Amino acid sequence: MKKKGKPKSKNDNIVYFPGLKDRLFEKGLHALENQQLDEAIVLLNQAYEIDPDNGEVATAFTLSLYENRNYEEAKEICKQMLHSGLGEYFEVVDLYLMILIQLNEHGDVVETIHALFEEKEVPFEKEDHFRKLLSFSEKVLKGKADESLKEEFIHKPNLTEAPTLLKGKNLEEQTIILAQLVHQNIHPFLAELTGLLKADDTHPFLKTMILNVLREHGYDKDIKISKFKMSYTGSPTPLKDVFQTQFFINVAEVIENHLHSSNPTLGEQMIELLKRHCFLLYPFEIEKPHETVGLAYIHYGLSLYGEVLENGPKGVHLENDIKEVIEIIKQLEEISSPTI
């Protein structure tokens, strides 16, 4: 199931009218959606001949063949796509497995899915689907399942809708899925991910996770992220890791310097609290001097135990700034974080 380089187009020496492939693809897709299969196959085949290296066109053409029960031809194109890396990989894998099931080639289904799990390539959101397919094909091979039930175990990709990643999941499940994206292809989900960054109702913890995923993948296009009535527009690539920012390092140092000898346990607790709040705020920070923010965390921590800071800061202005930061701390504490 490893992906290789794209094959050379067999029509490199033919010149087509500009936009012809796109028009054929759009008309073919419309025909496919309306179950006009003969017309869809003709149109999508023409588009495929013009640009056989286009993943969207190849997937749509293969699906039209599948719908028309031309399973052998669809299987061959699917295999070529998997070997050349065309299309969205797991969309193509799904289509390939559907074809194998229709051809009753359950041994190949089992072998393919086992290979995916052994290579640890299966995304979190597809594990359950693949395990059901695997179980069904294994039962068929053992004579313990009726092949007539196969329609219950397959589904066709919707080529007109972008794949969804987090919809319908709780916060913990969404966090796990996003953590796995660091090592997976994020292209199919870019529209969803960048949209979630802008949406007001996306949990701030998830926005940080998404931003980290984009940064890890070297995504260099401008994105917009809104949090806590603040916004950032720019590429995520130059952003530092949340715990490598000068803000976090300096504030943690203030807490450590004040509590390392007098109350090291409280110091550790407040640094952990600072980590959680920095993660929620990222890529933004509390816009106060580091010393002020550090002292505010110390004051807040001591107040939880009914204590006060001895030799605290002098000056009305400084005291007011600390009170403002403590209010921010309390607001951040009201925001839940996932339990993993």
Q: Is 234 helix (H, G, I), strand (E, B) or coil?
A: strand
State both tokens at 144.
Answer: 């313990």
pLDDT in tens, 153-174: 666 565 555 556 787 788 888 8
| pTM (2 d.p.) | 0.57
Percent of the chain with pLDDT over 90: 45
pLDDT in tens, 23-82: 898 898 888 888 899 999 999 999 999 888 888 889 999 999 999 999 999 999 999 988
Whether the predicted pLDDT of 316 surpasses 50: no
Confidence of residue 273 (pLDDT cuts 50, 70, 90): very high
**In whole numbers, what is the pLDDT of the chain averaged over residues?**
84
Please answer whether residues 127 and 184 qualify as being in contact, where contact means their C-beta atoms are separated by less than 8 angstroms.
Answer: no
d(CA 213, CA 241): 11
Max alpha carbon distance in the chain (Å)?
84
Position 7 scores a pLDDT of 43
Minimum mean pLDDT among 40-49, 69-78, 113-122, 207-216: which range?
Answer: 113-122
Q: Which of 128, 46, 259 is nearest to 60 (CA)?
A: 46
State both tokens at 238.
Answer: 């130059």
State both tokens at 94.
Answer: 């799904």
d(CA 184, CA 178): 10
State both tokens at 41.
Answer: 């196959």
Question: Mean pLDDT, to the nearest integer, of 237-249?
Answer: 94
d(CA 25, CA 46): 9
List the domain boundaries for the chain.
Answer: 20-153, 171-234, 242-333
Please answer whether residues 255 and 270 qualify as being in contact, where contact means their C-beta atoms are separated by less than 8 angstroms.
Answer: yes
For domain 20-153, the question of CATH label 3.30.1280.10 is answered with no
Whether the predicted pLDDT of 120 surpasses 70: no
The residue to which tokens 């987090």 are assigned: 166
d(CA 149, CA 142): 15
Q: Which of 137, 177, 179, 156 is nearest to 91 (CA)?
A: 156
